[in-house]
Amino acid sequence: MAKQYTVAVVGATGAVGTKMMEQLAKRKFPIGKLKLLASKRSAGNKLDFAGQTYTIEEATPEAFDGVDIALFSAGGSVSLTLAPEAAKRGAVVIDNTSAFRMDPNVPLVVPEVNREDLKAHKGIIANPNCSTIQMVVAMEPIREAFGLENVIVSTYQAVSGSGIHAIEELQAQSLAWDEGKNVSATILPVKGDKKHFPIARNVLPQIDVFTDNGFTYEEMKMINETKKIMHAPALPVAATCVRVPVVSGHSESLFIEVSQSGVTVEELREVLRNAPGVIVQDDIKNQQYPMPLFAEGHDETFVGRIRKDLSNDRGFHLWVVADNLLKGAALNSIQIAEAMVADEIL
Amino acid sequence: MAKQYTVAVVGATGAVGTKMMEQLAKRKFPIGKLKLLASKRSAGNKLDFAGQTYTIEEATPEAFDGVDIALFSAGGSVSLTLAPEAAKRGAVVIDNTSAFRMDPNVPLVVPEVNREDLKAHKGIIANPNCSTIQMVVAMEPIREAFGLENVIVSTYQAVSGSGIHAIEELQAQSLAWDEGKNVSATILPVKGDKKHFPIARNVLPQIDVFTDNGFTYEEMKMINETKKIMHAPALPVAATCVRVPVVSGHSESLFIEVSQSGVTVEELREVLRNAPGVIVQDDIKNQQYPMPLFAEGHDETFVGRIRKDLSNDRGFHLWVVADNLLKGAALNSIQIAEAMVADEIL
């Protein structure tokens, strides 16, 4: 009988945690024992999973005794406190928050791109930001085939990236619009920030708070994480991150410059057709292109609108869409665990 | 007493036509006589304007006899047929469709940018595409101050750009979502195209139909019109045009490269602060940045999120928002007429 693992899920009731549980069940991850951990406040609550009822336990350092894999998705501060405790007790932490992503001792992994980095782990592995993951899945096969020298991305990000309360806010605002009532905002663009603006019938050019250089943290995540995952510290990457009134599915308008001259759209398309985790949807004659509404629930990253720049022979434009809660978060975390099992690192 | 003009509005009942009438009244354009023209089907209908009731007349060639200014906004085929007839009868046509925009004999004008081109008119003047207008309003002062060498834009365009039926479609789909009913689509992305997709809770990476090079007509309009308006045929311009579930207000994520090295964000901001038709909303400490919901009903183009690229000293990122039915269409048309009156070309 194949080895089975004791898995802990920290933050099981959140938007990403729920999807992590679904993915563990759907992908038949070899779970021996499952522990659901949360704050003291949620401890004692019951949660159903794969036909069984689990009682949520308080996430204390000792709760990780005997745990093989700990999936964290309960906010950066929880990870900062408890992930080292879990690792100290022998668990491999796969952390979905931004807490450890840029730590040089922590591999930041998208299995299709830098699976080999998992081998260097010291107990904590970071899952990249949602908008970063789908972009590097689309870019890595292109980089391998033709080289990559420049990246400029503008995003169209769904509210589910801000959690369940942001989804509820969009729904409440949408209903208020329909009923001609006043629209109020208390969550977006950033729960803890000073001002809040409606997302229904609006777009918000702020995701996460601002850094001193004028870019938001979300934009800096895309810039810095891409360089780390692709092992390309000198790669120019620029990002503008924008929230749109979509429930699930991030879209990205991506401009890249490849190193080789004379690459054709069909060559680039062919590389993407053969790339792991990518589905090419690019038949404009039949109006086939990726859209977030139709990416929901799918594991793959969808790429379309592939076209060559009209002024720059090495420039290409792509439109990249993925389910931000799946490949952008929960699925990638489980895929990291699967890769570690398959590569016998766990 | 100042000269008064006989003004004809062709397509007065449409989304843009309605705004044109509002602008004529609001801006007190010196109208002597107003004629509302439409298809045979609408002829005879009544329309109120500035406290008077007008009877819509059929738009025949003869209807333009005695007209000084004819504002066209009834679709490209109507303009192609009737604009030359109106011009032949001595009217100056200001055409809001794409029919004549790239005609070398037709000035394509945004008054803040190339007002002097009006002097060369031969009876027809074209109003640029909505998404082009706000972009050149933001870029021209930067080009004048620092030079401009590269433009890459991704748009977030409102449904009102597709007319009243597209607004109704978004509202109907939104209501269906709220009520848990099936969502149907018959208008967007393009009324006459083969397939239709929901815009509520979705984004559509197609505006207008596709051209052979993989870009849509909307994207090619932004590319070609920008070069024509700015008198910069060799300027590299790339565009990705995307429809978002917003009623009014187009947003644009704009990357530009200026010619001069060492330009600071504050220098660029200062140039925009002094630019005609521009309002700088760029105070990230107070979460101040342009948003389409708050641009609605305003005449100006709002610019924010101004930041220097982290890898390219000559690269800047900007976020540009304007009311697509006002500066993007109706207002710019009336501003063209006003400029011609002021410059004594009319």
Tens-place pLDDT, residues B240-249? 999 999 999 9
pLDDT above 80 (res B105): yes
**With an 8 Å Cβ cutoff, is B172 touching chain A?**
no
- Residue for token digits 């004999």? B105
**pLDDT tens column, A65-83:** 999 999 999 999 999 999 9
Q: Which of B152, B179, B237 best tests the A interface by mutation, with the highest count of A CBs <10 A?
A: B152
Contacts of B198 in chain A (CB under 8 A): 293
Pick B195 or B163 by higher pLDDT. Answer: B195
Span A316-335, average pLDDT: 97
Q: pLDDT over 70 for what percent of chain B?
A: 100
**With an 8 Å Cβ cutoff, is A156 touching chain B?**
yes
Contacts of B246 in chain A (CB under 8 A): 201-203, 245
pLDDT, position A314: 98
Sign (positive or negative) of CA dihedral B119, B125, B129, B134 = positive
**A189 with B238: Cβ contact below 8 A:** no
- B138 by Cβ neighbours in 10 Å (0-12 / 13-18 / 19+) ranks as buried
Out of B194, B205, B291, closest to residue A202 by CB = B291
CATH architecture of A5-127+329-342: 3-Layer(aba) Sandwich (3.40)
Out of B150, B201, B251, closest to residue A245 by CB = B201
User: Residue A50: pLDDT band by 50, 70, 90 thresholds?
Assistant: confident
Max intra-chain CA distance, chain A? 62
| CB interface of B with A, residues 236-255, below 8 Å | 236-238, 240, 242, 244-247, 251, 253, 255
Residue-range domain boundaries for chain A: 5-127+329-342, 132-323
Span B30-59, average pLDDT: 93
Report the alpha-carbon distance of residue B35 to residue B39 in Å, rounded: 13
At the fourth CATH level, the homologous superfamily of domain B132-324 is Dihydrodipicolinate Reductase; domain 2 (3.30.360.10)
**A214 with B306: Cβ contact below 8 A:** yes
Is A101 annotated to bind a ligand? Reply is: yes
pLDDT, position B81: 97
**B310 with A213: Cβ contact below 8 A:** yes
**pLDDT tens column, A30-39:** 999 999 999 9
Give the orientation angle of helix B217-229 with respect to helix B130-146, to 10 degrees: 40
pLDDT above 90 (res A152): yes
pLDDT, position B23: 95
Query: Three-state SS across chain A?
Result: CCCCEEEEEECCCCHHHHHHHHHHHHCCCCEEEEEEEECCCCCCCEEEECCEEEECEECCHHHHCCCCEEEECCCHHHHHHHHHHHHHCCCEEEECCCCCCCCCCCCECCHHHHHHHHHHCCCEEECCCHHHHHHHHHHHHHHHHHCCCEEEEEEEECHHHHCHHHHHHHHHHHHHHHCCCCCCCCCCCCCCCCCCCCCCCCCECCCCCECCCCCEHHHHHHHHHHHHHCCCCCCCEEEECCECCCCCCEEEEEEEECCCCCCCHHHHHHHHHCCCCEEECCEHHHCECCCHHHHCCCCCEEEEEEEECCCCCCEEEEEEEECCCHHHHHHHHHHHHHHHHHCCCC
pLDDT, position B15: 83
Q: How far is CA B190 from CA A172, A242, A306, B96, B208, in A?
A: 29, 24, 20, 18, 6
CATH architecture of B5-128+329-342: 3-Layer(aba) Sandwich (3.40)
CA B80 to chain centre: 19
Q: Do domains B5-128+329-342 and B132-324 have the same CATH topology?
A: no
Average pLDDT of the residues of chain A: 96
**B205 with A304: Cβ contact below 8 A:** yes
pLDDT, position B1: 59
**B210 with A284: Cβ contact below 8 A:** yes
**pLDDT tens column, A209-264:** 999 999 999 999 999 999 999 999 999 999 999 999 999 999 999 999 999 999 99
Average pLDDT of the residues of chain B: 96
pLDDT, position B50: 82
Structural contact between residues A9 and A71, judged by C-beta atoms closer than 8 angstroms: yes
What are the DSSP calls for B114-177, one per residue?
HGGGGGG-SSEEEPPPHHHHHHHHHHHHHHHHH---EEEEEEEB-GGGG-HHHHHHHHHHHHHH
Structural contact between residues A132 and A109, judged by C-beta atoms closer than 8 angstroms: no
User: Residue A1: pLDDT band by 50, 70, 90 thresholds?
Assistant: low
pLDDT, position B252: 98
Q: Which amino acids of B are annotated catalytic?
A: 130, 250
pLDDT, position A15: 83
pLDDT, position B178: 87
Phi, psi of A163 (to 5 degrees): 95, 175
CA A310 to chain centre: 32
Contacts of B184 in chain A (CB under 8 A): none
Length of chain B counted residue by residue: 346
Query: What number is the ipTM of this complex?
Result: 0.96
The candidate with the shortest Cα–Cα distance to B290, out of B276, B299, B275, B301, is B301
The candidate with the shortest Cα–Cα distance to B139, out of B240, B257, B309, is B257
pLDDT above 90 (res A2): no
**pLDDT tens column, A76-121:** 999 999 999 999 999 999 999 999 999 999 999 999 999 999 999 9
CA B250 to chain centre: 10
Question: Chains A and B: how many Cβ contacts under 8 Å?
Answer: 161
Q: pLDDT over 90 for what percent of chain B?
A: 94
Is A224 annotated to bind a ligand? Reply is: no
User: Residue A335: pLDDT band by 50, 70, 90 thresholds?
Assistant: very high
User: Residue A178: pLDDT band by 50, 70, 90 thresholds?
Assistant: confident
Report the alpha-carbon distance of residue A310 to residue B290 in Å, rounded: 30
The candidate with the shortest Cα–Cα distance to A163, out of A21, A292, A325, is A325
**pLDDT tens column, B120-160:** 999 999 999 999 999 999 999 999 999 999 999 999 999 99
Span B293-307, average pLDDT: 97
The helix or strand, by DSSP H or E, that contains position B240, with its residue range, turns out to be strand B237-240
Tokens coding A230: 């692709």
Tokens coding B63: 């209807």
Q: Say what the alpha-carbon torsion angle B273, B279, B280, B285 is, to the nearest 10 degrees.
A: 130
The Cβ of residue B192 has, within 10 Å, a number of other Cβ atoms equal to 6
Out of B175, B202, B292, closest to residue A291 by CB = B202
Is A15 annotated to bind a ligand? Reply is: yes
The candidate with the shortest Cα–Cα distance to A242, out of A335, A121, A156, is A156
CATH of region A132-323, choose from 3.30.360.10, 3.40.1390.20, 1.10.10.10, 1.10.3720.10: 3.30.360.10
Report the alpha-carbon distance of residue B10 to residue B33 in Å, rounded: 14
